[in-house]
Amino acid sequence: MILSKAASIRRHLIRVAEKAGVPAEIFKSDLDRQEIVMFNLQMAIQNCIDIAAHIVSEEGYGVPGSANDMFYLLEENGLLAYEATEKMVKAVGMRNLMVHEYGKINLDQIHQVAQKDIKDIETFIQSIIKKLS
């Protein structure tokens, strides 16, 4: 399950990179591009949440109260470094903003995340796979 989700995340990140690799002004003027990027970011982050939930459940790390708690539990049990945990917590916040408050989205911020911060999701996947191998 983890490897399947990781492959799905990588596909979503490729799609984000394909569509976000333009100047901010082009990104902000192209609704289709924005929606493709946001959908694929949401899916990549959700798959990270799913991986975290699976590990927390399978390993009996506790009962998380939120998606963020799952990443803290992974950190507490040595699967994530502090920096990676904090970045994933921020990613969950971004996902929540995209899913629940679409009208308040800052397109400059989405563009920035899509161009520079998506590497944090790949770092998460690599950390998990390395620790579980």
Let me know if 54 is a catalytic residue.
no
Let me know if 12 is a catalytic residue.
no
Asked if 69 and 82 touch (Cβ cutoff 8 Å), the reply is no
Q: Catalytic one among 12, 33, 95, 111?
A: 95
Q: Residue 70: is it exposed, middle or buried by C-beta count within 10 angstroms (0-12/13-18/19+)?
A: buried
What letter represents residue 62's amino acid?
A: G
List helix spans (H) across the chain: 2-20, 24-28, 31-59, 67-76, 82-100, 107-112, 119-132
Among 93, 87, 123, which Cα is nearest to 106's? 93
Asked if 110 and 37 touch (Cβ cutoff 8 Å), the reply is yes
Positions marked catalytic: 95, 100
